[in-house]
Amino acid sequence: MVLVGSALAQQTVVANPTPDELLLTLKESEFNFGKIPQGKPVMHVFEVLNKSKDSLKIENIVASCGCTTPDWEKDKSVAAGSRTKITVGYNAAAEGPFTKNITISYNGGQTKQIIIKGEVWKTPSSSAPENKSLNDLKN
């Protein structure tokens, strides 16, 4: 009697992106500023690539609060294979960690989110104290 063992074949499932996913492809969907000083606005540029066969029209971009300001080419239609940029500014007014969601609306109601995050450290309320010994050094 001969026993035949069966081998279990491994399958790798590769997810194929849908045409909608290819339409607005982001180089990164999240950016961490790290530690930033309070009162110093920062900006980051998100690169957008249209990998589909259709044109891309970013209709609106809405941030989760007024401290975050998105900017993009509002009247531009991004052709297939072309790129555009979304610049996101953050006004680091409040101390502490932050995570802000930015929603991109495009091509008739489709949406995607990008995220910025980081931590704002409190800057000193006054400049360095006056050095009263400075006059002694001038003599």
pLDDT tens figures, 78-92: 999 999 999 999 999
Nearest to 114 by CA among 106, 104, 124, 122: 104
Domain ranges of the chain: 19-121
pLDDT tens track for 58-115? 999 999 999 999 999 998 999 999 999 999 999 998 899 999 999 999 998 899 999 9
Write down the pTM of the prediction. 0.75
Tokens of 66: 């007024």
8 A C-beta contact, residue 127 and residue 42: no
The one-character DSSP state at 93 is -
The structural architecture, per CATH, of the domain 19-121 is Sandwich (2.60)
- The type of residue at 40 is K
